[in-house]
Chain A
Amino acid sequence: MSTVRELRVNGRPSVVAADAERSLLSVLRDDLDLTGTKFGCGEGQCGACTVLLDGVPTRSCVTTVGSVGQREIATIESLAADGALHPLQEAFLKCDAMQCAYCASGMIMSACALLRKNRHPSEGEIIRHMNGNICRCGTYGRIIAAIQEAAQTASPEKL
């Protein structure tokens, strides 16, 4: 059984000692105390566990930590690391794009990946990109509005 000793998380190397078959989600939450990333379904269907691997939105609950390698992991904790909220976080607050907010981290990380590759997505592009993220409280319209708000107002280097 191989052991993962180091991960690149939120711009820094992190020392871990994790059985390679454990989920990336569990290592982030239980070992590194990065609990902003949530468990929702365990099968990659709800998107609550979404993190970025080299910028690609990835379901960390179905990603083994051993498969991550040297890829850069970005979690929700990376976005306001210096205290200033990311434009998407600002937009989610402005649009009240959440109720219980358990989905919010995954929503914001998925949206972040979208806006970094597509600065001005159409509504249809937002819906297609975000359709793997579930908000059981049903705030979809507000999340779309928040993504549009961030796309319109944020300067590119802040995304």
Chain B
Amino acid sequence: MNDTAAMVDRRGFFQTLGAGLLVLYLAPAALAQESGGGRRRGGSAPSDVNAWLHVAADGSITVYTGKVEVGQNIRTSLTQAVAEELRVPAAAISMVMADTQLTPYDMGTFGSQTTPQMAARLHRAAAAARIALLDLAAAHFQVEAATLTVADGKISKSSTDSISFGELSGGQKLVKTMDDSTPITPAAAWKIAGSSLPKVNGRDLVTGRHRYSPDLKLPGMLHGRVLRPPAYQAALVSADTSPAAALPGVKVVQDRDFVGVAAPDALTASHALDAIRAQWTTKPQPSSADLFDYIKKNADPAPGRGGHSQGSIADGLAAAAHKFQQTYTIAYIAHVPLEPRAAVAQWQDGKLCVWTGTQRPFGVRDDLAQALGLSPDKVRVIVPDTGSGYGGKHTGEAALEAARLARAAGQPVKVVWTRQDEFTWAYFRPAGVIEISSGVRADGVITAWEFHNYLSGPSGLGAPYDIVNQTCAFHAAASPLKTGSYRGLAATANHFARESHMDELAHAVAMDPLAFRLKNLSHQRLRAVLEAAARAFSWGQKPIPGHGFGLACGTEKGSYVATCAEVAADVASGSIKVLRAVTAFDCGAVVNPNHLKNQLEGSIVMGLGGALFEAIEFADGKIGNPRLSEYRVPRFADAPKIEIVLVDRPDLPSAGAGETGIVAIAPAIGNAIFHATGQRLRAMPMAPDGLKA
């Protein structure tokens, strides 16, 4: 055993895994800072390790990653990365994901980073393992490694003489380190990566056998519920919990404003909660009716992060034949993951273990440790593959609630949020106000572009067009509601405003919206998707009466998207239906074409909700529509016919693709509504109560 192996052995890896070949990722110092390698607190993995895999003596391959599966199909795509480099069937690989005790630190599953960062690392880990196994095989056969072939979990000297991975590593404790210089297979040569491998755990999903967090059950487990304030910023004056405590089997926990119950079954827990008599003080708060005035009045006039400025807006406007000033608004919307926040917490010997659906297992571990006064190595967070997130599960509220109740009850406790809890006590995609001033010459060249986003965020703030005089600024503002991440962040709002405005400019100079964009656009990848979408949609044809066509494009997180939409709009009845959407997408080398198409289709459907009807209503700190009967999400009848065109670029690194597909659908729909009706809708959602006459 070499020094590294001895170090690793002391850390207990081989104790857990058994003998075999272990591959460690040694992070460069800068990356360690960013990815948390240097900020790790607790856990069992060495602090300089960012990803690893193990080839056991029986040949089984186990891959460890802190990433979380929430429906974006990374359990499959990361398996493909490893299978590709190790030249084994995907079925030979098991992925251990998002367990703070077993997997290396990871900052979280968000920002479309799994494919560009984690997949790249796992490619290198698996490639390093292959190289190490080849070296072992070369010694075994006493030939040059280059003369050997690797396939199906074994290394062959000839068609009759081969040795399996397990035999090569068996009985020894071998450690191989790799870094970003380990050579990996170029995408153009991929055989397993790049193919439409089906979901690796699909069978468990269609049979109902997979256990999501709310499905877990421990011996002696109680069902917990937490008393919710009647409004945001309400303060608890008093709570009489004695009627709840009198119910059979019910335990009541009160710790300042935290009041909760744990009971043998969920209905008893609900009855116990209802039995608590609580007094609260509340205070007046802004309402959705005056939201946009509130945002403007409470915004920082100075630009915040993410903006830029070049040229002179005044010069640009002076050169323009047409000048515009428009305001766009974006409502708060909710993620509505079908699996609500849920957690099961268990205390044993002063240590806490929590199973919960979160996109930040290590962050939630640290949050729990801090809130409960523990050191992080006393807390283990395990994330079962989760019933979606869309950026809405960065936090661990249910985990903390379950942990507090379980500690007080002395028994494991499960907390499953109600849908009203999820709509009220999670967080929202920020609302926003966007103001654009622009100027365009009669020949269609944009001469000035001034863009101000208030509150909703700086993602996708900058225009991808060739505009000499431009200022793009984000202004932080007070938010009446708690906000957080959401698929695509503010890129959806910024693209809605920008691409709707582009359409207005095109019509002002009587140019086709496609030709107008191309005239002001030199970015080749964006041009390519725009042209691909237009071609697949047969852009340029005339719609039948009552129908309209719209298009929009954009780029975010290293991916490029263009969407064309056809709507049927009837101003007399107010009805609006998106009939067809064509999206062309370029995210570099495509890892799994079918799963990528699925993500893009889902982005269109989800984006359609925010485009047309999703909006959170609120007043005085209360949500007005915290139920699925009151908050409309897209259903079967709302979904358009969708066509996806993938612009595969095996010559380029793979970017993430779970988010960017959402940014173009809202402006494409808005522009199609204008085309059909002449109505320019500048508020998202555009038609919560149908079109207005």
Query: Which residues of A line the B interface, CB within 8 A?
Result: 19, 21-23, 26, 29-30, 33-43, 45-46, 48, 75-77, 79-80, 85, 89, 92-93, 96, 98-105, 108, 126-128, 130-144
Q: Tell me which residues across on chain B come within 8 A of A133, comparing CB atoms.
A: 636
Known contacts A100-B385, A101-B71, A138-B605; can you find 16 more A-B pairs with CB under 8 A? Answer: A26-B266, A36-B208, A39-B214, A40-B339, A41-B627, A43-B627, A85-B203, A93-B199, A93-B206, A98-B205, A99-B599, A100-B338, A101-B205, A102-B339, A138-B606, A139-B605
Name the one of B205, B215, B267 contacting A29, with C-beta atoms under 8 angstroms: B215
Q: Tell me which residues across on chain B come within 8 A of A96, comparing CB atoms.
A: 198-199, 202, 594-595, 598
* 20 A-B contact pairs sorted by A residue (CB < 8 Å): A26-B267, A29-B215, A30-B265, A35-B211, A37-B208, A39-B416, A40-B339, A40-B628, A85-B206, A93-B202, A96-B598, A100-B386, A100-B388, A102-B212, A128-B637, A138-B601, A139-B601, A139-B602, A140-B636, A141-B601
Query: Which residues of B line the A interface, CB within 8 A?
Result: 70-73, 198-199, 202-203, 205-212, 214-215, 217, 223, 265-267, 336-340, 385-388, 390, 416, 418-419, 594-595, 598-599, 601-606, 627-629, 633-637, 639, 641-642
Q: Tell me which residues across on chain B come within 8 A of A41, comparing CB atoms.
A: 419, 627-628
For the complex, give the distance between the alpha carbons of A77 and B198 in Å: 22
User: Which of B209, B388, B599: most chain A CB closer than 10 A?
Assistant: B388
Q: Are A45 and B628 in contact (CB under 8 A)?
A: yes
Q: Are A136 and B336 in contact (CB under 8 A)?
A: yes
Name the one of A21, A40, A138 contacting B639, with C-beta atoms under 8 angstroms: A138
Name the one of A42, A46, A137, A139 contacting B418, with C-beta atoms under 8 angstroms: A42
Which residue of chain B lies nearest to A109 when distances are taken between CB atoms in the complex?
B208
Name the one of A34, A35, A46, A130 contacting B338, with C-beta atoms under 8 angstroms: A46
Which residue of chain A lies nearest to B72 when distances are taken between CB atoms in the complex?
A99
Given contacts A98-B206, A100-B338, are A45 and B266 in contact (CB under 8 A)? no
For the complex, give the distance between the alpha carbons of A96 and B594 in Å: 8
For the complex, give the distance between the alpha carbons of A105 and B211 in Å: 12
Name the one of A89, A99, A131 contacting B207, with C-beta atoms under 8 angstroms: A89
For the complex, give the distance between the alpha carbons of A137 and B69 in Å: 13
For the complex, give the distance between the alpha carbons of A19 and B418 in Å: 21
Q: Tell me which residues across on chain A come within 8 A of B595, comparing CB atoms.
A: 96
For the complex, give the distance between the alpha carbons of A38 and B421 in Å: 17
Q: Tell me which residues across on chain B come within 8 A of A39, comparing CB atoms.
A: 214, 340, 416
Q: Are B267 and A22 in contact (CB under 8 A)?
A: yes
For the complex, give the distance between the alpha carbons of A9 and B599 in Å: 36
**Least distance between B420 CB and chain A CB atoms (Å):** 8
For the complex, give the distance between the alpha carbons of A6 and B465 in Å: 68
Q: Tell me which residues across on chain B come within 8 A of A77, comparing CB atoms.
A: 207-208
Given contacts A35-B215, A141-B641, are A130 and B636 in contact (CB under 8 A)? yes
Q: Tell me which residues across on chain A come within 8 A of B639, comparing CB atoms.
A: 138, 140-141
**Least distance between B147 CB and chain A CB atoms (Å):** 41
Given contacts A43-B629, A89-B206, are A103 and B217 in contact (CB under 8 A)? no
For the complex, give the distance between the alpha carbons of A148 and B260 in Å: 47
**Least distance between A134 CB and chain B CB atoms (Å):** 6
Name the one of A22, A46, A131 contacting B637, with C-beta atoms under 8 angstroms: A131
Q: Tell me which residues across on chain A come within 8 A of B267, comparing CB atoms.
A: 19, 21-23, 26
* Interface SS, B side: loop
Given contacts A45-B628, A131-B635, are A76 and B208 in contact (CB under 8 A)? yes
Q: Tell me which residues across on chain B come within 8 A of A99, comparing CB atoms.
A: 71-73, 388, 598-599, 602
**Least distance between A40 CB and chain B CB atoms (Å):** 5
**Least distance between A116 CB and chain B CB atoms (Å):** 18
Given contacts A48-B338, A102-B387, A139-B598, are A80 and B210 in contact (CB under 8 A)? no
Q: Are A137 and B215 in contact (CB under 8 A)?
A: no
Which residue of chain B lies nearest to A45 when distances are taken between CB atoms in the complex?
B628
Name the one of B203, B212, B215, B266 contacting A93, with C-beta atoms under 8 angstroms: B203
Given contacts A26-B265, A134-B338, are A101 and B627 in contact (CB under 8 A)? no
Which residue of chain A lies nearest to B416 when distances are taken between CB atoms in the complex?
A39
For the complex, give the distance between the alpha carbons of A33 and B221 in Å: 13
**Least distance between A102 CB and chain B CB atoms (Å):** 3
For the complex, give the distance between the alpha carbons of A100 and B639 in Å: 18
Which residue of chain B lies nearest to A138 when distances are taken between CB atoms in the complex?
B605
Q: Are A137 and B388 in contact (CB under 8 A)?
A: yes
Q: Are A93 and B605 in contact (CB under 8 A)?
A: no
Pick the 8 closest A-B CB pairs, nearest first.
A36-B208, A138-B605, A100-B71, A102-B387, A99-B71, A101-B205, A138-B602, A35-B215
Q: Are B199 and A43 in contact (CB under 8 A)?
A: no
Q: Are A46 and B217 in contact (CB under 8 A)?
A: no
Given contacts A42-B419, A43-B627, A139-B601, are A108 and B206 in contact (CB under 8 A)? yes
**Least distance between B340 CB and chain A CB atoms (Å):** 7
Q: Tell me which residues across on chain A come within 8 A of B606, comparing CB atoms.
A: 136-138
**Least distance between B387 CB and chain A CB atoms (Å):** 3
Which residue of chain B lies nearest to A129 when distances are taken between CB atoms in the complex?
B636
Q: Are A134 and B635 in contact (CB under 8 A)?
A: yes
Q: Tell me which residues across on chain B come within 8 A of A102, comparing CB atoms.
A: 71, 212, 337-339, 387-388
**Least distance between A108 CB and chain B CB atoms (Å):** 7
Q: Are B388 and A136 in contact (CB under 8 A)?
A: yes
Name the one of A30, A128, A138, A140 contacting B603, with C-beta atoms under 8 angstroms: A138
For the complex, give the distance between the alpha carbons of A100 and B357 in Å: 12
Q: Are A127 and B206 in contact (CB under 8 A)?
A: no
Q: Tell me which residues across on chain A come within 8 A of B207, comparing CB atoms.
A: 36, 76-77, 79-80, 85, 89
Q: Tell me which residues across on chain A come within 8 A of B605, comparing CB atoms.
A: 138-140
Q: Tell me which residues across on chain B come within 8 A of A23, comparing CB atoms.
A: 267
Q: Tell me which residues across on chain A come within 8 A of B336, comparing CB atoms.
A: 136
Q: Are A35 and B601 in contact (CB under 8 A)?
A: no
Given contacts A22-B265, A38-B339, A99-B599, are A138 and B604 in contact (CB under 8 A)? yes
For the complex, give the distance between the alpha carbons of A117 and B202 in Å: 27
For the complex, give the distance between the alpha carbons of A134 and B633 in Å: 8
**Least distance between A76 CB and chain B CB atoms (Å):** 4
Q: Tell me which residues across on chain B come within 8 A of A45, comparing CB atoms.
A: 627-629
